[in-house]
A and B are shown apart, each in its own frame.
Chain A
Amino acid sequence: GPEVDMHCNTARRGNSNSRSGSKVKEEKPKKGQARRSKAKEKKKVLREQCEEECRQDEEAPKCSKNHRNEKAKTEERGDFKRKTKDSCDEERNHISSDSSSESEELSADEEESQEEKDVLTQEELEKLKEAVEEKKKLIANLRGKPWPMSKKLVTLRESQEFVEKYEGALGKGKGRKLYAYKVMMMKKWMKFQRDFENFRTACIPWEMKIKEIESHFGSSVASYFIFLRWMYGMNMILFGLTFGLVMVPEALMGRPYGSMPRKTVPRSEQAGAMDFAVLWDFGGYAQYSVLFYGYYNNQRAIGWLKFRMPLSYFLVGVGTVAYSYMVVIRTMARNANRDGGGDDTSFNFSWKMFTSWDYLIGNPETADNKFASITTSFKESIVEEQESHKDENIHLTRFLRVLANFLVLCCLAGSGYLIYFVVRRSQKFALEGLENYGWWERNEVNMVMSLLGMFCPMLFDVISSLENYHPRIALQWQLGRIFALFLGNLYTFIIALMDEINLKRREEEVVKYNMTVWQASLYNGTVDDNSTTSTIPVDPADVPRGPCWETMVGQEFVRLIVSDTMTTYITLLIGDFLRAVFVRFFNYCWCWDLEYGFPSYSEFDVSGNVLGLIFNQGMIWMGAFYAPCLPALNVLRLHVSMYLQCWAVMCCNVPQERVFKASGSNNFYMAMLLVILFLSTLPAIYTIVSIPPSFDCGPFSGKKRMYDVIQETLENDFPLWFGKVFSYASNPGLVLPFILVMILAIYYLQSTSKTYKAANMDLKKKLQTRQVQGW
């Protein structure tokens, strides 16, 4: 019966609930008639106890009928009754000897009290069930409540008692074990995720260096280094392609050095072939190696793998350009996505204030960096805020900007004409033979280019102060203008190169003619002219060579890259490092304050460095077809640059006065890179398509045009129907409609993306006004 249950429950929890415990002790020795009244007393006492508990609990249903409800519950759940009876049996063994007689009397009481009790209504049962469920939910969610620990512990104890009283300890043990198991699995999973993230970020090279620079110099300087790292990754892939598919097969499976004329240093040059000066200039042994186009044999398939060398060479050349296009456009698209999506600036300052500190930092150096980065970030936001509040006199600003652009155009036109004039003069000098002129005339073009490159950017900087732009926009204009200036550089280089190529091709005709004469002189002794080619052994070093214009082009590019790199490093050391040393150590004995006046410490020139990087990459793309060693050289150069420039920035530069936030996406750099990629692949494509290859060097020697190798492969290696399909596909009747369809698709996608953006903005505005209205 219920009294027995309650008795047993309260007896079991003697330690925690002293009230019930004392009652058990009190009631034990009583015997006889008083037992019935004692039972009634117990009921009353327990009811009061229950009421008190329920009062503390807002969710509990009416208590007056609780003891009756309990009985109904025990009637419904038979096994429950049996189980508690068992536990009561246990309990009784602990109590003193007259417990058995007590239980007999109690069971007599039980029957009586059962008659007394009413039948419970369904409603009250439901309410009790609800109460117990609520208590259970409270216990499960207790860890998420913002109460102090002592309150949580007390609430836990009381809720547990309530639930136990009306439900027993059934199933609680199991539930807890399952929950603990679930928690352990979830923790293991979170730890695994965290470790994986850590591993992934640890794999990214130079992350700590860049973070340090970012925290001290701001995001615009850091964006240069992030761009540099991205370029390094791309060049690694290009290096992998050229090294693995072009250089290594020829080195391993092709004919070795000295076996053919094209692979041997000519007799006349052999004396100085190992000199450092010659090697630095990429002549001698460096020229006749896998590094340059001229070494490669035109044999169709080499080695036991039957590796198609000429095909591979051609496809790798095309593949590097295609890969570069793909990677640049994909990065631009991803950046555009990120920009357009998370453009929420409605809580900029609040978020900076409340969520920028990383609570996991324990290292003092990291903490220093974090403080610096937070301060810089605030300063950047403050600049943005101030810019947006500037009072603008529209007409004056517009006039000034138009004036500035006009001045810049004049500047560019002037420098363009100067370059053109100088190039013509040097062509005239070359025709008359360079030995007649002094050093200035010989290096006139280079000197003029360098001087222009040094002074024009400064001029642009001064002109741009007229325009009064936001620093980020001013940087973009500056970049664009210097870009236009450097295009002049490119123009002269290409003109010079084309002139050289034409010269070499004319030479080649002469050599071809001389070859027949020389071969005839070899057979002076023998008589028959109708015999097949004789096998008079001639040392390859003695065979007269054609001027290999492709190798010459490759060499020009390599020399340009090397000299560019040297210039950059030397300017860095002198312009930044020596200047900083001078300012620091001569400040004590100088008339004016060197640190604040002239020359002071230098700032990091973001625009100059970015453009240098982009133009170098353009050179690589242009020259990679003729010198497979260029990507390898570039990887080395970028690697050294990263370390050198990181050190130089932290050691010799000071942050800019107005620290501004770079547009996080770097899409502007990517756009310039794309333009350069397009511009630099044009000359390469032109030479491949229109100029016939040299007759005695390179993998395409003997063909009329370099792309003939594709035709040849299609005819020989693929089944017949493949060639037919290809010829159909290249039919203009098919190609033109295809291009038309693509143009229509682009137009359609553009217009839908515009409508999506407009809808996005609309929804955002609605959300914001709703928020404000809601209060």
Chain B
Amino acid sequence: MGNKQTIFTDEQLDAYQDCTFFTRKEILRLHGRYHELAPHLVPMDYTNDPDVKIPLALIVNMPELKENPFRNRIVESFSEDGEGNLSFNDFVDMFSVLSEMAPRELKAIYAFKIYDFNTDNFICKEDLEKTLNKLTREELTPEEVNLVCEKAIEEADLDGDNKLSFADFENMISKAPDFLRYL
């Protein structure tokens, strides 16, 4: 384990290891990727905790996110200002949650945030319509979209308010066989 890196102090790396699911090497690699996105913006020396944020447009071009229909929402959910500008802390946090080591409960919380387009802490019918259109690239007719959204609310809504609260979402997603495989 080389101690020759000068990007972070040892305490910083230890703190990151405690706060994410990554090891030292992975965190350094992540910093490399972060730096690649905007080499002129991101300093190589993070020992004094610089306040640098990369805008949304650069992050969604990463090969891991490029093909994902929800890439904008993902980045927005992890940014502090809600606009999608990620500091390195947010960047690491995002990948930590998306990694395979993250537990189901944590992923469910963030999945709820991602699918909640208007950030009102409920997944309402408009959110579902937007999700569906992004998933099918708008290939379904409006009647089909309507039918699917109504059926989804009918299936998952337990408290009867015609929108999905986090409890409804959690209850539904905890039984899904594919959730951990794909997210």
B15:A350 contact, CB within 8 angstroms: no
A367:B155 contact, CB within 8 angstroms: no
Query: In the complex where A142-B18, A375-B137 touch, is A775 in contact with B93 (Cβ < 8 A)?
Result: no
**Distance in Å: Cβ of B53 to nearest Cβ of chain A:** 12
Query: In the complex where A153-B15, A153-B89 touch, is A374 in contact with B156 (Cβ < 8 A)?
Result: no
Q: Which of B107-166 contact A (CB under 8 A)?
A: 109-111, 115, 128, 131-132, 135-137, 139-140, 144, 147-148, 151-152, 155-156, 158-160
Write out, one digit per residue, whether chain B residues 158-183 have a CB within 8 A of any chain A CB (1) or not (0): 11100000000001110111110011
B67:A362 contact, CB within 8 angstroms: yes
**Distance in Å: Cβ of A509 to nearest Cβ of chain B:** 68
Which listed residue, A346, A356, A363, A375, touches B182 by the CB 8 Å rule? A356
CB nearest neighbor in B for A346: B155
Q: What is the CA–CA distance of A184 and B17 in the complex, to the nearest angstrom?
A: 12
Residues in A with CB closer than 8 Å to B23 are 180, 183-184, 187
Residues in A with CB closer than 8 Å to B100 are 190, 194
Q: Which of B16-55 contact A (CB under 8 A)?
A: 17-21, 23
Query: Is A688 close to B, CB under 8 A?
Result: no
Q: What is the CA–CA distance of A366 and B182 in the complex, to the nearest angstrom?
A: 14
A353:B19 contact, CB within 8 angstroms: no
Q: Which of A354-403 contact B (CB under 8 A)?
A: 354-364, 366-367, 371, 374-375, 378-379, 381-382, 385
**Distance in Å: Cβ of B155 to nearest Cβ of chain A:** 5
Which listed residue, A348, A360, A364, touches B155 by the CB 8 Å rule? A348
Query: Is A176 close to B, CB under 8 A?
Result: yes
Query: Is A658 close to B, CB under 8 A?
Result: no
Query: In the complex where A139-B18, A156-B19, A362-B63 touch, is A347 in contact with B155 (Cβ < 8 A)?
Result: yes
Q: Which of A153-185 contact B (CB under 8 A)?
A: 153, 156-157, 176, 180, 183-184
Query: Is B72 close to A, CB under 8 A?
Result: no
B148:A148 contact, CB within 8 angstroms: no
Residues in B with CB closer than 8 Å to A363 are 67
Query: Is B101 close to A, CB under 8 A?
Result: yes
A143:B20 contact, CB within 8 angstroms: yes
**Distance in Å: Cβ of B72 to nearest Cβ of chain A:** 14
Query: In the complex where A143-B96, A347-B172, A349-B151 touch, is A375 in contact with B128 (Cβ < 8 A)?
Result: no
A374:B176 contact, CB within 8 angstroms: no
Residues in A with CB closer than 8 Å to B137 are 371, 375
For the residues of A in contact with B, the DSSP-based class is helix
Q: What is the CA–CA distance of A481 and B88 in the complex, to the nearest angstrom?
A: 66
Which listed residue, A142, A190, A364, A378, touches B144 by the CB 8 Å rule? A378
CB nearest neighbor in B for A358: B182
Which listed residue, A187, A348, A385, touches B101 by the CB 8 Å rule? A187
> Number of A residues whose C-beta is below 8 Å from B?
55
Query: Is B8 close to A, CB under 8 A?
Result: no
Query: Is A531 close to B, CB under 8 A?
Result: no
Query: Is B58 close to A, CB under 8 A?
Result: no
B19:A143 contact, CB within 8 angstroms: yes
B182:A355 contact, CB within 8 angstroms: yes
Which listed residue, B64, B80, B105, touches A150 by the CB 8 Å rule? B80
B178:A356 contact, CB within 8 angstroms: yes
**Distance in Å: Cβ of A297 to nearest Cβ of chain B:** 57
B173:A355 contact, CB within 8 angstroms: yes
Query: In the complex where A176-B14, A361-B68, A375-B137 touch, is A350 in contact with B152 (Cβ < 8 A)?
Result: yes
Which listed residue, A153, A186, A187, A356, touches B19 by the CB 8 Å rule? A153
Query: Is A451 close to B, CB under 8 A?
Result: no
For the residues of B in contact with A, the DSSP-based class is helix
A157:B156 contact, CB within 8 angstroms: no
Query: In the complex where A353-B128, A357-B135, A378-B140 touch, is A344 in contact with B175 (Cβ < 8 A)?
Result: yes
Q: What is the CA–CA distance of A351 and B115 in the complex, to the nearest angstrom?
A: 13
Which listed residue, A350, A356, A772, touches B172 by the CB 8 Å rule? A350
Residues in A with CB closer than 8 Å to B21 are 143, 183
Query: Is A771 close to B, CB under 8 A?
Result: yes
Query: In the complex where A143-B19, A364-B67 touch, is A371 in contact with B155 (Cβ < 8 A)?
Result: no
Query: In the complex where A362-B63, A772-B158 touch, is A353 in contact with B152 (Cβ < 8 A)?
Result: yes
CB nearest neighbor in A for B111: A354
Residues in B with CB closer than 8 Å to A145 are 106
Of A353, A364, A367, A771, the most chain B CB neighbours within 10 A belong to A353
Query: Is A149 close to B, CB under 8 A?
Result: yes
Residues in B with CB closer than 8 Å to A194 are 100
CB nearest neighbor in B for A344: B175
Residues in A with CB closer than 8 Å to B135 are 353, 356-357, 371, 374
A357:B182 contact, CB within 8 angstroms: yes
A379:B140 contact, CB within 8 angstroms: yes
CB nearest neighbor in B for A140: B18
Query: Is A719 close to B, CB under 8 A?
Result: no
Q: What is the CA–CA distance of A299 and B64 in the complex, to the nearest angstrom?
A: 68
Query: Is A81 close to B, CB under 8 A?
Result: no
**Distance in Å: Cβ of A400 to nearest Cβ of chain B:** 28
Residues in A with CB closer than 8 Å to B69 are 357, 371
Q: What is the CA–CA distance of A228 and B36 in the complex, to the nearest angstrom?
A: 48
Residues in A with CB closer than 8 Å to B93 are 148-149, 152
Query: Is A144 close to B, CB under 8 A?
Result: yes
Which B residues are within 8 Å of any A CB, using their own CB? Answer: 14-15, 17-21, 23, 63-64, 66-70, 78, 80, 87, 89-90, 92-93, 96, 98, 100-103, 105-106, 109-111, 115, 128, 131-132, 135-137, 139-140, 144, 147-148, 151-152, 155-156, 158-160, 171-173, 175-179, 182-183
Q: A356-B135, A366-B67 are in contact. List 17 more A-B contacts (CB 8 A).
A: A143-B19, A146-B110, A153-B15, A344-B175, A347-B156, A347-B175, A349-B148, A349-B152, A350-B152, A351-B172, A353-B131, A354-B111, A354-B172, A354-B173, A355-B182, A371-B136, A382-B148
7 tightest CB-CB pairs across the interface, nearest first? A149-B89, A367-B67, A149-B93, A775-B158, A349-B151, A355-B178, A375-B136
Which A residues are within 8 Å of any B CB, using their own CB? Answer: 139, 142-146, 148-150, 152-153, 156-157, 176, 180, 183-184, 186-187, 190, 194, 342, 344, 346-351, 353-364, 366-367, 371, 374-375, 378-379, 381-382, 385, 771-772, 774-775
